[in-house]
Amino acid sequence: MSGLVHDEEQGGRPQLAGAQHASWSGQLLEQQRICPSAVFQSLNNLRIERTRIRPLGADSSKKGGNADVELAYLSSKETVIDNLESVMLSCVAVKKFRFDDDTVDDRVLARITHEINLLTKLSHFNIVELVGFVEDVKEGIAWMIFPWENNGNLREYLNSMNLEIPERVSLILDVAQGIKYLHNLNPPICHGDLKSVGLIYT
């Protein structure tokens, strides 16, 4: 699920982002018989060529439980970015999933495609939007692309600001609205990994 994002014009709003989605019924992904290649194919309109992504360096990378997230440029053209002035660029957050022992595990791919597939069906101002994905199974590459938010995650924002109680309560209510939206879906969805570093502040 995506993270909570805070909108300055509206006094701040968190969004759910980058978390593990799970069916409320508790069914295992293997039991749902997800075919990663079929899901990737069905979402081809969201596929982004790897050559359009230009990482900003190791300093922008942050490690997570099963993936690294780094700041990168996304070009407006499907071409290698040699001349930055010749293309329009936008900053994005690239979530790069890690595979054990340099092998592609179908179960890992199933979880990734499950998350991507769910995000395409969600629409709420407290749920972060998926820009697209990069996938090359042979190379062990599976990336999810999200909008980059300069304010960072909610933990970073709270540590950098001295918020009053009403402002903190407002943030909590925003998080609750995102969770309520997920729980009211049919079937309901549970976030599964709700924490401040998984909430984006816009």
Catalytic residues: 193
Q: Give the residue from 70, 72, 66, 71 showing the smallest Cα distance to 112.
A: 66
Amino acid at 41: Q
For residue 10 the two structure tokens come to 């509206």
User: What is the DSSP code string of 14-39?
Assistant: EEEES---EETT---TTTTT--HHHH
Quote the CA–CA distance of 61 and 56 in Å, as a whole number. Answer: 9
Q: Round to the nearest angstrom and report the end-to-end CA distance of the chain.
A: 16
Quote the CA–CA distance of 4 and 22 in Å, as a whole number. Answer: 18
